[in-house]
Structure 1
Amino acid sequence: MVLDMTARDRIISFDQSNGVIVVEAGALLKDIIEQTLPLGWMLPVVPGTERITVGGAIGCDVHGKNHPGAGSFGQHVLWLALLRSDGTVTQLSAGRDPDAFWATIGGMGLTGVILQAAIQLQHIETGWALRNRLRTRSLDQTVSVLRTLADRQETDPNHHAIAWLDGHASGDSLGRGIVDEFRPSTTRELPGVVPPFPERREHSTRRGRRSLPGPGLMSKATIVAASTARWHLSRSGNAQLVQLHSALCPLDRAELWPSAFGRAGLIQYQFAVPRGEVSVLRKALTFLVAHRMTPALATLKNLGFGTSGPLSFPIPGWTLAVDLPARWLHDREILRPIDKMVAAAGGRVYLAKDVLTDPSRIPTMYPRLETWRRTQARLDPAHRWTSALAERLGLLQ
């Protein structure tokens, strides 16, 4: 039996005086933003898409482009209601059964079914952001820029930063890219004719959208051409005014992105390594170039301190994510050399996106796995909750 919680999508209450919102787990982040942003409140953490559920955001403990200052999604959850396998519902928080609470934050849905959650929103003056863009010419320069921005991010949870990398570049140009930093605009920074909260343009939903036939638009030639052109055509610039939700979730505007990969779809491979392990980033990019697997999208972000969740992904350092056509990965062991480097460096893969990782690496990547297992077994002694991911990686005892 597979549970689908998307029908339980109500916003139960919203206290505009303190920014606390209570929602059902099936509510989309998009729905929350649409309701609260015009009132001056925003989710403090938004991942690359706003089209995920609150339950999914908690279960995966998602992070945004402002992680060094804002942390991950779970750090802003005040409490959650969890349906256990014995049919009882329990309310968990950082002060009420913290072990169970943090085992659920990032627990991939394996401790129980999240029914409701209370989230602390962040006050915001406008729905606009000021963006600075810088084109870099090498991985060393990209990393240097992100290091500088990380210092600002650690003191300002509203400071976002992300680097797009030209995955085709090699040699001295390996890791060149475009670094975007942005922060919400204040009302004083807006031109007089610009309303504080822009009217959102409704995009059609992806549900029911079919993939393009065969390999779609993503071939080695088209990916290389697009990556090269994007880098050459981009220009550095400061204080560009953009809509905040578009800056946070740029791919939500690209309706055809998943379908462009054809019938086989895409796989996103994402890992994190400590800040001193830049060599792993270099080796991973070199590996992809050498194997002629130019990513259709490659992004690099700063990560700050993680949460108390034993299976939560973020660690202080770097996270690299690459989108690859799934048909290139018919050999599921092709990226295992990168797995090995990541694990040896004290890093980890992102469980929320994983379909390839060697299960034997998971205890090394997540050294608190046994702690999580004990709490999971206490919450689900009948062993009724499982998933294909859990079975493939051997997460449960």
Structure 2
Amino acid sequence: MKSAGQVTVRGAGCSYGDAALPGQGIVLDMTARNRVLSFDGLRGVVVVEAGVTLGDLMDQVLPLGWAVPVLPGTAKITVGGALASDVHGKNHPGAGSFGQHVLWLSLLDSEGMVTELSAGQDPDGFWATLGGMGLTGVILKAAIQLQPVETGWARQRRRRTRSLDETIAVLRELAVRQETDPNLHVVAWLDTHTPGPRLGRGLIDETQPAQLSDLPRGVPPDPDRRRSAAGRPVRSLPGPGVVFGPTIAAASLARWHFTGARDGRLLPLMSALCPLDRADAWPAAFGRSGLVQYQFAIPSEATPVLRRVLAFLVGSRMSPALTTLKNLGFGTAGPLSFPLHGWTLAADLPARWLRDGRTLRTLDAMVAEAGGRIYLAKDSTVDPDLIPEMYPRLKTWQRTRDRLDPDRRFTSGLAERLHLLP
């Protein structure tokens, strides 16, 4: 570290944007530091190195009756990446974000010194690191409080809605339950291709860990979670791939019409919470230009913005290939932590549709005006001038960050593009 100059810290490289791509200097790959250092089976506290993936951690603790309390859409990210992004799951109203389950973490600074941070020991540094996008130092290890589970299965209920208003009403109803039940995971998959009053109709999944009493006779409490050995990454399809207007429309209609409501379906917990991990070819389907995921959060009272965003995308002939809507609970003390009490919508768009960096600036303005923000862990397009408005505690974070790294040796493409380190 002392001789490296400027450093970009990288985990599994799952960010859709440039959060783990270098600005200047070198990239420090943390994936080799992937050991589970200790596990307290009575309290459910595990100490791991930052390079352990959430999927590998779940594989080890789930058979022992414990689970990672917060899982984002993919379990392929590292613990360090989960901390640096302060990721959230589909149970945020009750469980909060990942950082709220971290007891302490070890941070390596640019001078080679290691410091232990927690909510009680340098809380400013702790919360600046959680959501700090790897810009406060190198997270080496962390202690995580797990949650108890009886099985490795999940029960899932799915219902269909016929409009965005109905989707929002159902999600509001479920948010009340989620606030008192951290095990209730909820996500809505929206149909954004059908215009008019049906725009925003969707499929809403409610998922909860299954109890032993939920399992049919003969079903073992621990499902087979064997995964094939990692091979070469799936290569992008040539040209524009297979994701374009007609295929998006066909897929949206098929998903809504042929995926009926269901109640009590039994699924492996990991498959239920991280469904896209079974679709390794999803990014490749967008062709050589790849995809952009535009994800933002807005306050609960700003629901009209959801319709305006969808209407803008449809009216611009940019109906997303995949659109999800989730409830968010209250945020954390992290100045750059993404969640705020309200809604988060994510839209997957072919990058070739974004002719220049200003294509989505209309949406940026809508989100900022509503008191919302974009998700730094997935961003590649936002107007940097709006970052102080979207993250009003940015200067607080910058002061703490400068204390932790006074020479400003930790950087990234994201930090330079958005002027996070003035």
Q: Give the shorter-chain TM-score range.
A: over 0.9
CA distance in 2, matches of 1:286, 1:241: 36
Shift of 1:152: 0.4
Greater shift in the superposed pair: 42-51 or 234-243: 234-243
Tell me, yes or no, if structure 1 residue 39 matches structure 2 residue 60.
no
Structure 2 partner of 1:124:
149
CA distance in 1, matches of 2:108, 2:47: 17
Structure 1 partner of 2:9:
none
Structure 1 partner of 2:172:
147
Partner of residue 193 from structure 1, selected from 218, 223, 226: 218
Q: How does 1:60-79 map to 2 (within 5 A)?
A: 60-79=85-104
| Alpha-carbon distance change, 237 to 208 in structure 1, aligned in 2, over 3 angstroms | closer
Amino acid at match of 1:351: L
Normalising by the residue count of structure 2, what TM-score does the alignment of the two structures yield? 0.93
RMSD: 0.9
Greater shift in the superposed pair: 219-228 or 374-383: 219-228
Shift of 1:12: 0.9
Partner of residue 350 from structure 1, selected from 375, 391, 394: 375
CA distance in 2, matches of 1:305, 1:165: 24
Amino acid at match of 2:316: H
Q: How does 1:209-358 map to 2 (within 5 A)?
A: 209-358=234-383
CA distance in 2, matches of 1:341, 1:206: 42
CA distance in 2, matches of 1:317, 1:391: 29
Amino acid at match of 1:121: L
Shift of 1:209: 2.5
> Given that residues 107 and 138 in structure 2 are in contact (C-alpha distance below 8 angstroms), is that contact kept between their aligned partners in structure 1?
yes
Amino acid at match of 1:142: T
CA distance in 2, matches of 1:153, 1:174: 26
CA distance in 2, matches of 1:279, 1:323: 21
Partner of residue 368 from structure 1, selected from 379, 389, 393: 393
Shift of 1:362: 0.4
CA distance in 2, matches of 1:46, 1:26: 16
| Alpha-carbon distance change, 154 to 298 in structure 1, aligned in 2, over 3 angstroms | same
Tell me, yes or no, if structure 1 residue 91 matches structure 2 residue 116.
yes
Amino acid at match of 2:89: G
Amino acid at match of 1:188: S
CA distance in 1, matches of 2:97, 2:228: 27
CA distance in 1, matches of 2:232, 2:360: 30
CA distance in 1, matches of 2:203, 2:333: 32
Amino acid at match of 1:219: F
CA distance in 2, matches of 1:222, 1:341: 28
Structure 1 partner of 2:133:
108
> Given that residues 100 and 375 in structure 1 are in contact (C-alpha distance below 8 angstroms), is that contact kept between their aligned partners in structure 2?
yes
> Given that residues 84 and 134 in structure 2 are in contact (C-alpha distance below 8 angstroms), is that contact kept between their aligned partners in structure 1?
yes
- Runs of 4+ that moved beyond 6 A: none
Q: CA offsets per residue over residues 35-92 of structure 1, 9 Å max, x none?
A: 0001110000000000000000000000000000000000001110001112111000
Shift of 1:224: 1.1
> Given that residues 206 and 255 in structure 1 are in contact (C-alpha distance below 8 angstroms), is that contact kept between their aligned partners in structure 2?
no
CA distance in 2, matches of 1:272, 1:86: 36
Normalising by the residue count of structure 1, what TM-score does the alignment of the two structures yield? 0.99
Shift of 1:205: 3.2
Structure 2 partner of 1:81:
106
Q: CA offsets per residue over residues 108-147 of structure 1, 9 Å max, x none?
A: 0000010111101111001111111111110000000000
CA distance in 2, matches of 1:203, 1:283: 42
CA distance in 1, matches of 2:280, 2:377: 22
Shift of 1:204: 4.9
CA distance in 2, matches of 1:206, 1:284: 38
Which structure 2 segments of 5+ residues have no match? 1-25
> Given that residues 156 and 267 in structure 2 are in contact (C-alpha distance below 8 angstroms), is that contact kept between their aligned partners in structure 1?
yes
Structure 2 partner of 1:3:
28
Structure 1 partner of 2:19:
none
The higher relative CO (CA closer than 8 Å, separation ≥ 6) is in 2
Shift of 1:288: 0.5
CA distance in 1, matches of 2:230, 2:127: 33
Q: CA offsets per residue over residues 343-369 of structure 1, 9 Å max, x none?
A: 011000000000000001000000000
Q: Residue 134 of structure 1 aligns to a residue in which SS?
A: strand
CA distance in 2, matches of 1:325, 1:63: 24
The count of corresponding residues between Structure 1 and Structure 2 is 397
Q: Residue 301 of structure 2 aligns to a residue in which SS?
A: coil
> Given that residues 106 and 117 in structure 2 are in contact (C-alpha distance below 8 angstroms), is that contact kept between their aligned partners in structure 1?
yes
> Given that residues 203 and 253 in structure 1 are in contact (C-alpha distance below 8 angstroms), is that contact kept between their aligned partners in structure 2?
no
| Alpha-carbon distance change, 206 to 52 in structure 1, aligned in 2, over 3 angstroms | farther
Amino acid at match of 1:176: R
> Given that residues 234 and 280 in structure 2 are in contact (C-alpha distance below 8 angstroms), is that contact kept between their aligned partners in structure 1?
no
Amino acid at match of 1:24: E
Partner of residue 52 from structure 1, selected from 66, 74, 77: 77
CA distance in 1, matches of 2:399, 2:228: 44
Shift of 1:394: 0.6
